[in-house]
Amino acid sequence: MSPEQNPSRSFGRRSFLRASGTVAAAGFLAACGGNTGRGGGSAGGKAAISQWYHQYGEAGTQQAALRYAKAYTKADVSVQWIPGDYASKLSSGLVSSNGPDVFEFHPDVQMAKSGQIVPLDDIIADVKSDFTEKDLAANSVDGKVYGIRMIDDPQFLYYRKSLLEKAGVQPPTTFDELIDVSRKLDKGGVKGLYLGLKGGSDILASPLIWATGSELLTADHKVAFDTPATVEGLKKMRELYTSKTLLLGAPTDWWDPSAFTQGLTAMQWCGLWAMPGIQKALGDDFGIVPLPGIGSAGRPVVYNGGWSTYVSAKAKDVDAAKAFVKWLWIEQTKFQEDWCTSYGFHIPPRKSLAAKATKLQSGTAAEAVKLFETKGHYDDPYWTQAMMTISQDMVNNAVVSGKNPESEVAKARTRVEAELKKIA
């Protein structure tokens, strides 16, 4: 083949340009075609409200969210059900003008301080005493309430009763026992313990610090986690990690109970929301324990996660958005009850509703509620996403990569202090 006949030299470059052009165009179209959920303006003079949820794993939740939205008559509410990395999508949505008007998230001081969300004191005023002090505190910045708690989600360790019996061990009450039990349960293709894709370095970062008796921040927002106890906690966690009994690389992360229900692991860190699914799969063959305490000042820990609803300061009509939030998460107690107990299990943050939630008053669910009340630790709104990442990197470096825990704690301290300066 002679060179003259052959257009190949330009082929590479041209096809490359063409290909990259197509990719760019596709990306551009995708960016423009994103459904902002805003419809074509307001229909019939009603306000249009865009409401964002992260993707709940339990069947029926999306239909329920749509049903609530449809039942609201004073505005057209469109629901965006966001799969994948919800926090990232929400963050970029809130900076752009295509963000949600009403959304669910976790308490975050930066959102309040930078004026991305508006205070909701006026709509919660009448029922404030019906929420627990801790829920309100977790959503308050400088004395103003920024979020209405929708659900409380305690997280703890699930274990298979039958597998523990077979191995002749009791549910762990200390961290050393946890390591030991995990070792004994790791046999026959079933791993001992599942703490998620990152070996617990993400989801257990805060609970691990609490379990050593330390705190993340002091009450006046200074670094508090840099204690010898935390270093000890990291060493214990490293011991657990290097025991080779952790399940790693499962298809789903810690928040999904599949690894546990499908018998890939004998124990798993997960939340109350997964309990109905676990009950369905395993019947009574499971129990729960808190994360055991570590060291002399150690204490057993349950992580009280959960979701709250917020109103964006960039909402087209902030008052209409607030009115909708008041209607759904304050007035419509039937819907709130449905949301908390009809799909996954969540503890209703309203005392009056929690008292009526019969599904949570017996069996393991009741145990979970008790753990939530007695051993539960809430998010601190001053512990921002950036600080979470810093502490997770600290745990990951010390536990997974085996770096020196003392220097990792010191490094994390410096970085968290820099973050604190930003919000001071």
Partner 1 sequence: MTTITTGGARPGATASPGPAAKAKARRDGHGMRGSTRTFWLFAGPFLAGLLLFVYVPVGWSFYLSLFQAQNTVTPTKFVGLDNYADILTEGPFTDSLWTFTLFALIVVPLTFVLALALALLVHRIRVARAFFRSVFFIPTACSYVVASMVWKLSIFNGVRFGLANTVLGWFGIEPVAWIGTVSPPWYWLVLVTVRLWLQLGFYMILFLAALQQIPKELYEAAWTDGARPGRQTFRHITLPQLRTTSVAVILLLLIAAYQAFDEFYNLLPNTPYARPPLVYLYYTALGQGQDFGHGSAGALVLSALITMVTLLQGRIFGFGKADS
- Chain residues binding partner 1 by CB under 8 A are 1-3, 6, 8-9, 11-12, 15-16, 19, 85, 87-88, 91-92, 94-95, 110-111, 114, 116, 189, 197-199, 201-202, 247-251, 253, 259, 264, 385-386, 388-389, 392-393, 396-397, 400-402, 411, 415, 418, 422-423
The contacts of residue 197 (CB under 8 Å, 6+ apart) are 248, 249, 250, 253, 254
Q: Do residues 294 and 229 touch, judged by C-beta distance below 8 A?
A: yes
Nearer to partner 1 by Cβ, of 61 and 397: the residue is 397
Min dist CB 273 to partner 1, Å, is: 20
Min dist CB 68 to partner 1, Å, is: 27
Nearer to partner 1 by Cβ, of 131 and 194: the residue is 194
Nearer to partner 1 by Cβ, of 341 and 384: the residue is 384
Nearer to partner 1 by Cβ, of 92 and 162: the residue is 92
Min dist CB 424 to partner 1, Å, is: 12
Nearer to partner 1 by Cβ, of 98 and 173: the residue is 98
Question: What letter would DSSP give residue 254?
Answer: T
Nearer to partner 1 by Cβ, of 265 and 336: the residue is 265
Nearer to partner 1 by Cβ, of 334 and 422: the residue is 422
d(CA 305, CA 269): 13
Structure tokens at 30: 């995708």
DSSP assignment of 359-413, as one string? GGSSHHHHHHHHHHHHHEEEPPTTS-HHHHHHHHHHHIIIIIS---HHHHHHHHH
Min dist CB 369 to partner 1, Å, is: 30
Strands 148-159 and 287-289: antiparallel
Min dist CB 64 to partner 1, Å, is: 27
Structure tokens at 328: 């759904």
Structure tokens at 176: 């050393």
User: Buried b / exposed e across 147-181, counting CB within 10 Å, b at 16+?
Assistant: bbbbbbbbbbbbbbeebbeebebebbeebeebbbb
Report the 3 state secondary structure along 45-93. HCEEEEEEEECCCCCCHHHHHHHHHHHCCCEEEEEEEECCCHHHHHHHH
Min dist CB 17 to partner 1, Å, is: 12
Min dist CB 171 to partner 1, Å, is: 24
